[in-house]
Structure 1
Amino acid sequence: MAPPLRWMASVLYLAVLSTGLYYAAAGLSPGWSPVWFAAALVALLGVEQIKPTGRGIGLLLTRMALIEVVVAFDDAGFARPLYVLVPFFAYFSLGRRWSIGLAAGYLAAGTIRASFTPGWATDPEIVSDLLMLFVGMVLTIATAAVADRQRRSRVRAERLFAELHEAQQQVAELSATAERNRLARDIHDSLGHHLTAISVQLEKAEAFRERDPTVADRAVGDARSATGRALSEVRESVSTLRADHFSLTRAVAVLADGLDGPGFSVSVELTGTEGGQRRDELETLYRVAQEALTNARRHARADVVYVSVRFGEVRVELEVEDNGRGFVPELATGNGLAGMRERVASVGGALHIESEPGRGTRVTARVGA
């Protein structure tokens, strides 16, 4: 574990080294040789360049030993402040309790050493040194505690950032999956039925090409008309859904106008005012209307369809009812109904289908609160 503020130790080592060298150069202590004193401090500076592995207990013990060497060869007592570094590094290697214990041990050792001096208890210099050592230990432990909290906060922040990044990747993957599913439903809703009809008409034309060219030509014409309707529907859908402001009223009207014609009548009834509803909910209702109308025309063989859209403040209800041949909803296995249910469920709405053979079909979709 690498403790923060390691530069603090290097600053203290340099300060003590500079003071000792000045003391020796000025001749303030004749006969004192600062060689071992300086060598131990240089070694301590080298220790601070080593990146600790694990808890760094080995480096802690090395620092303690070198500090004792510096103090032993210190003729003027400049090195005693280095003792405050031991609890600091111990805080990160051994924990808070060991840090406080070592600080108390150094204070006790300093007091015992001072007690060998006669009258030490009344000597202002000795008492001041002990007080400064105590204050230094307290400040060192407090600094280590603050630095450790900052380090833990940084680690937590990095972990949270990593988790957030992972969550963003998961959301992106889910969004991509949802988009693929949406595109699959759009292809089925917008093109699937038309392509099926075109295929049927072309097969019919192939079958009657020799027996009845008139029927074959009519089938080719119907296929061409289906192709035109498919292209028109795709253009209208893309234009509507890409607009900055999506209007369900307009989209349903365009859809109904495109399908309304001889043999297939579509009536639209609108209640309430559109506005304030979520765009994704309105687009979902449009797709439900598109699928229901396509089913009514292609599969139910209906000739009359009623579309009702009722707007509330936030809730919108769509109802599509036809007079087709009907079916049993529980037995239906097509992709169209499954697609409608998935769409409505994706926006938190509800879909209800009422139908039975010979009685037509009613599709009701509700979105909003």
Structure 2
Amino acid sequence: MDQRPPSDDRSWLRALHRGYAAIWVLLGLCPPALAVLDQPSATKYWSLGLLATLGVGYGIVRTVPGNPVLRPPAYLGLVALGLGGMSYLLGGGAALFIATLPQFWIVSRSPRQAVAFSTAAAALTVAGGAVRQGLWIGNVLFTALGYVVGVGVGLLVHRVVEESTARTALLRAELAAARQSLAEAYQRQGAADERERLAREIHDTLAQGFASIVVLAEAARTSVATVPDRAVRQLLSIEQTARENLAEARVLVGSAPQSGVAAGSIAQTLRRTLDRFADETGLRIDADLPDLACDQPTRVALLRCTQESLANVRKHAGASTVAVVLARGADGIDLEITDDGRGFVVATSRGFGLEGMRKRLAGLGGELVVTSSPGEGTRVLATLPTNGQG
């Protein structure tokens, strides 16, 4: 049969074919070859020649399946004639016929072809023996029995192989569909994660910058006639914030370094942010900012947490004092930001900013703890591992 088993099955199938070939040579070809050694020369040489032809032919068909000389149908026809010839020379060939039966299913291209050639071989085996020494019942009986069993087993095996091949094809199709679905899910998840990252970056940078510009612009408009110097400082802060927003926008569109934050000391970076916040709001800032070493991602995360916390103080707290403490803790760097504002119920808070801070810190192996209650102010504690940095 011209089956094309899956590649994983080819090794054991080749081993099975090699095993059959060895058994066929030992139990199919060798016994009649030994049996004719004491026969007359004509019978002996014709028999040995036919057996050798069958052996060489099977070797060619199995080792060089695409050869143009001995195609599978030609070989099977040769086998049928050879079995008939051996049956004639030996006066019966049921044993050789039975040993050769699997070849009709191994070599043929379809069950129909296998049945046709095995039928012809069975008929020639019976006919050869009958011509030589009459209709010997034993030869006829064993040939017929071998033929019936061989055809039955061959059809059964063909059906099993066909169903197995169909199941394998179905499983492979389902696996391919599952892989495609999984790839699409990963792609959708990646797009969703990227949208969430961009939303967090916009909220932490551009949105806060624009909010600061609005507050400064309103303050400058009211003080331009009465306190011109203050208005000038506020306009300068507006210009600086707008420039920083422009730099952040370039980062978001991929035309600037990824962090959008210039390299430097974390203490200096936080100090500049706190000084500007104090200028913009007039609130008192108490800061303890030692110069701790940390990598750029950690520095950016701490800065974003500070900016978000200060933005919440500006918009919601109604505080008069903000305290910021940077310290090296047992598990890494701790950043604590407290205010004496009105506070809130943490469990009912649904703000995007707090959730964004949590996810940003979690992405670096850190955590965020927010403690607050109405009338008691708010405490934000951000902890980030230092990964062995000094």
Q: TM-score, normalised by structure 2?
A: 0.50
Aligned length: 271
In structure 1, the partner of 2:237 is 222
Answer yes or no: is 1:198 the counterpart of 2:213.
yes
Following superposition of structure 1 onto structure 2, how do residues 238-249 of structure 1 map, counting pairs within 5 Å?
Answer: 239=257, 241=259
Q: Distance in 2 between matches of 1:281 and 1:137?
A: 75
Q: Distance in 2 between matches of 1:184 and 1:335?
A: 9
Distance change >3 Å, CA 163–CA 145, structure 1 → 2? same
In structure 2, the partner of 1:165 is 180
Q: Among residues 307, 321, 325, which one is paired with 2:326 in the alignment? A: 307
In structure 1, the partner of 2:160 is 145
For 1:195, the aligned partner's letter is: F
For 1:128, the aligned partner's letter is: T
Q: Distance in 2 between matches of 1:283 and 1:126?
A: 92
Q: Retained in 2: the 8 A contact 1:16–1:78? A: no
Distance change >3 Å, CA 174–CA 236, structure 1 → 2? closer
In structure 2, the partner of 1:321 is 337
Q: Distance in 1 between matches of 2:143 and 2:299?
A: 80
Report the alpha carbon displacement of residue 198 of structure 1 after superposing the two structures with TM: 0.7
For 1:167, the aligned partner's letter is: L
Distance change >3 Å, CA 311–CA 175, structure 1 → 2? farther
Q: Among residues 309, 312, 321, which one is paired with 1:292 in the alignment? A: 309
| SS of structure 1 residue aligned to 2:379 | strand
Distance change >3 Å, CA 172–CA 220, structure 1 → 2? same
Q: Distance in 2 between matches of 1:274 and 1:332?
A: 31
| SS of structure 2 residue aligned to 1:325 | coil
What value does the CA root-mean-square deviation take over the aligned residues?
A: 5.2
Report the alpha carbon displacement of residue 160 of structure 1 after superposing the two structures with TM: 1.5
| SS of structure 1 residue aligned to 2:120 | coil
Answer yes or no: is 1:78 the counterpart of 2:78.
no
Distance change >3 Å, CA 132–CA 347, structure 1 → 2? farther
1:146-187 per-residue CA deviation (whole Å, 9 max, x = no partner) reads: 453344233212212211211121121112112111111111
Distance change >3 Å, CA 217–CA 136, structure 1 → 2? same
Q: Among residues 359, 363, 367, which one is paired with 2:380 in the alignment? A: 363
Q: Distance in 1 between matches of 2:376 and 2:358?
A: 22
Q: Distance in 1 between matches of 2:73 and 2:246?
A: 82
Report the alpha carbon displacement of residue 188 of structure 1 after superposing the two structures with TM: 1.0
1:231-276 per-residue CA deviation (whole Å, 9 max, x = no partner) reads: 5777899746499xxx9xx7844642432548545434689x979x
Distance change >3 Å, CA 19–CA 353, structure 1 → 2? closer
Distance change >3 Å, CA 212–CA 296, structure 1 → 2? closer
Report the alpha carbon displacement of residue 225 of structure 1 after superposing the two structures with TM: 3.5
Q: Retained in 1: the 8 A contact 2:270–2:303? A: no
Q: TM-score, normalised by structure 1?
A: 0.53
Distance change >3 Å, CA 204–CA 77, structure 1 → 2? closer
Report the alpha carbon displacement of residue 18 of structure 1 after superposing the two structures with TM: 9.2
For 2:329, the aligned partner's letter is: R
Q: Retained in 1: the 8 A contact 2:339–2:379? A: no
Report the alpha carbon displacement of residue 329 of structure 1 after superposing the two structures with TM: 3.6
Distance change >3 Å, CA 192–CA 130, structure 1 → 2? same
In structure 2, the partner of 1:256 is 270
Q: Distance in 2 between matches of 1:169 and 1:190?
A: 31
In structure 1, the partner of 2:17 is none
Unmatched 5+ stretches in structure 2: 6-64, 66-70, 82-108, 124-133, 279-284, 386-390
Answer yes or no: is 1:335 the counterpart of 2:356.
no
Identical aligned residues as a percent: 22
Report the alpha carbon displacement of residue 305 of structure 1 after superposing the two structures with TM: 1.0
Distance change >3 Å, CA 220–CA 195, structure 1 → 2? same
Unmatched 5+ stretches in structure 1: 22-48, 50-59, 82-116
Q: Retained in 2: the 8 A contact 1:318–1:364? A: yes
Q: Which one has a bigger Cα radius of gyration?
A: 2
1:193-230 per-residue CA deviation (whole Å, 9 max, x = no partner) reads: 22111112223334555666555444323322433455
